[in-house]
Chains A and B, each alone.
Chain A
Amino acid sequence: MRALIDPAGRGASGRAGRRERPRTRFPRGAVLACLLAVLGAADARAAEPVGVAYLERRIERPNPLNNEDPVPADQGLRGAELGLRDSNATGRFVGLSLALDKAVVEPGADIRAALAGLLAGPLHPRFVVVNAPAEDLLALADAPEAKDVLFLNIGAPDTRLRDADCRKRILHVAPSRAMLTDALVQLLVFKRWTRILLVAGPGAADRLYADSLRRSAKKFGARIVAETTFDARGADLRDSALREFALATRGPEHDVVAVADEAGEFGTNLVYNTESPRPVVGTQGLTPAAWGRAVEAWAAAQLQERFRKLAGRTMDPADWAGWMAVHAVGEAAVKLKSADPAAIATLMQSPAFEVGGFKGRALSFRAWNGQLRQPLFLLWPGAVVGAAPVEGFLHRSTELDTLGLDRPESACKAFGG
């Protein structure tokens, strides 16, 4: 099986990937054409499937508060499976295929061992879609046995992974918290709802979300007028919500109540329970997300339909990211007409690579931190309220870069930027 990877080809394209890129701007098409010419030569055979692995760590979640449907156990994975199916439907026209292997580990289990198992498996995957927390992702990317692997992050929104803790071997398909809160605050500023009362839960992720909201508010000229924390573990919300939330949301004049409750311990119950009649935004209420049930435009309805047929449920943000990750690998392979993983990885990481994602624009990975540029949706459970970048937020190269860490803002050094 090893023989299918051409060592010479790998070495050559690997070096090309690390080479300093000239700053001069060429027309995109020309750059891509050159790349294709160089990389396409690396492997003309293209008979063996391109190996992709899916690796997940299960997360313990609190019990549902309001009899919600449980979070699907196969969230993310089913998206990756649809991505595989879509890629193969395309690949057969150029004699290419992808194959998917998967491993899911329980909380506390050794995820590096699971990675080693996947890498030693029959597919020898060089692309690993990871649906796991930030610490796992870093441990995987730093593992010596993974030095030829390109990781695709679909589960960790941590902004630090796109900042000082970035890794050259990780592309982030999932949006960062910074992108999510930037999207939300853009909408608030557009609507002139700029006075924010912030209620944060006690979890570490809640603090990160609150930090991110503060940063976004500052970036776009909104204002946090008061902050409070709320620990749902202190009370039975079913009995005390009416009074407890009124107390927690009492404060100076504000336009919205922003909630930071990533695990979903109280945020849903805060809606309509605030002291003043104000909308709830953030992790519940009006939420920024990469995807959601109500997303319909730009042919999203077609993708939603394909997913529903495959999985028998709605497509969640992690499913979209799983689909997108595999679709991006497939798209790069088809563009190259090559199954050479090194060439595919190099193309994916190059600024010339563009891929569709049912979001109405061509998507690409940021050259300075590996983050996928993408529009985000502002949703409540019933409908799409808007999409970001919101009209009027301008950027010198692409408005998509108004979301998340822009080149000068990112402390990421691994990409040579």
Chain B
Amino acid sequence: MTARAPRHRIALLALTAAPFLGPAPSRAAEIFVTNERDNTVSVIDSESYAVTRTFPVGRRPRGVVFSKDGKRLFVCASDSDSVQVIDPDDGKLLANLPSGEDPEQFALSPDGRTLFIANENNATTTVVDVETHSVKAQIDVGIEPEGMAVSPDGKTAVTTSETTNMVHWIDVATLAAIDATPVDQRPRHAEFTRDGKTLWVSSEIGGTVAVIDVATRTVRHTIRFEIKGVASDRIQPVGISLTDDGRHAFVALGPSDRVAVVDARTFEVTGYILVGRRVWHTALTPGQDRLVTTNGVSGDVTVIDVATLKAIRTVKVGRYPWGAAIRPVPPGGGVAK
């Protein structure tokens, strides 16, 4: 409750300031997209929307995340059974982290030191020290773990298991699974709110998003989706992005080719944005003014303007784009060498 007031103030400030700003200060960012079928990563410049480079990575790259300083890119190369550490500037492989079998998604602890990796094929979560490249623990979870998230205070990690249909809660201090919360069929992605009080979990086959109270580990609200002219079983929620201002949640709805816009305070679905075919995941730019989506079947990325909630661009990437991660362009461009 106490956190509420300042958040409003920030939102208000942003609103009033916007008309006077003119051209925004540089919000240049680079969007990194894993192409599951091509074994590559495409890099898109957020201002020109051009693919500036494409570099090869391990086999079947899916989950992707940046180190806190944006200088290292972690890529789950699922079929190579490794998490690769890559120099985002030139695509050079810096290291292969021990990852356990078939890593699919992962999450980095807030201090940037620990990577929690969901091992889809052997029902474990592997915890890796990013600095020493050593495995700190392998934790038994449900079958086909996929979604991973770490709470903003770094104390709790969660993984979702797609066949067991649960959210497994991991105590980071003891690295033990301490509880499990059943959710709808095939939970795929988990996302904490910024205050760490709420966890959003998408269920692909259940067709829902569970809003879970972190303190009690119980489902507080279940969001359902309905799109005119689209069969309900084609609405398959996967990726979720939450804006820092607490206003919007964006939910990628798979083969319905749409992203749902949800009011993150009332949990009401306020609209659907048509994107490319079979949308998997979404990511917000550092300025939170753009949302990008990876569209697996059409092989492209849709760019959505967060202010107007409209799709403004489509960028062709490789085959089966799956994951997306975004970093601000380093000062001085940084990239062109």
Contacts and interface: CB of A to CB of B under 8 A. Distances in A.
Nearest to B207: A362
Contact of B180 (A94, A302, A362): A94
Contacts of B255: 360
A407 interface: no
Contacts, number: 63
Contacts of A269: none
A29 B222 contact: yes
A306 B233 CA distance: 26
A354 interface: yes
B163 interface: yes
Given A354-B206, A362-B205, A362-B206, A302 B142 contact: no
B142 A362 contact: no
A86 interface: yes
B53 to A, nearest CB: 30
B97 interface: no
Given A93-B180, A356-B186, A86 B222 contact: no
Interface in B214-234: 222, 224, 231, 233
B193 interface: no
Interface stretch (B8-16, B164-172, B307-315): B164-172
Contacts of A27: 224
Interface residues of B, number: 27
B22 to A, nearest CB: 48
Interface in A23-66: 27, 29
A271 interface: no
A42 B164 CA distance: 23
B182 A335 contact: yes
Nearest to A32: B184
A309 to B, nearest CB: 9
Main secondary structure of the interface of B (DSSP, over half): loop
A106 B185 CA distance: 39
B163 A356 contact: yes
Contacts of A86: 143, 163
Contact of A334 (B168, B182, B231): B182
B162 interface: yes
Nearest to B188: A299
B120 interface: yes
A302 B120 contact: yes
Contacts of B144: 299, 302
Given A93-B164, A93-B180, A302-B120, A362 B233 contact: yes
A99 interface: no
B166 A93 contact: yes
Contacts of A314: none
Contact of B143 (A29, A90, A94, A398): A90
Contacts of A362: 185, 205-207, 233
Interface in A131-177: none
B298 interface: no
A194 B330 CA distance: 61
Contact of A302 (B121, B205, B206): B121
A361 B120 CA distance: 20
A302 B205 CA distance: 16
A244 interface: no
Given A93-B166, A302-B121, A361-B205, A356 B142 contact: no
Nearest to B144: A302
Nearest to B255: A360
B205 A90 contact: no
A205 interface: no
B143 A89 contact: yes
A305 interface: yes
Contacts of A93: 142, 164, 166, 168, 180
Contact of B233 (A90, A355, A361): A361
A399 interface: yes
Interface centre among A299, A331, A354, A355, by most chain B C-beta atoms within 10 angstroms, is: A299
Contacts of B123: 89
Nearest to B120: A302
Contacts of B121: 302, 305-306
Nearest to A331: B165
11 contacts: A90-B163, A93-B166, A94-B180, A94-B182, A299-B162, A302-B144, A334-B164, A354-B205, A355-B185, A361-B205, A361-B233
6 pairs of A and B residues whose beta carbons are closest in the complex: A90-B164, A93-B180, A361-B233, A356-B185, A356-B205, A89-B143
Given A302-B144, A335-B182, A362-B205, 9 more contacts: A89-B123, A89-B143, A93-B142, A299-B162, A360-B205, A360-B236, A360-B255, A399-B233, A400-B233
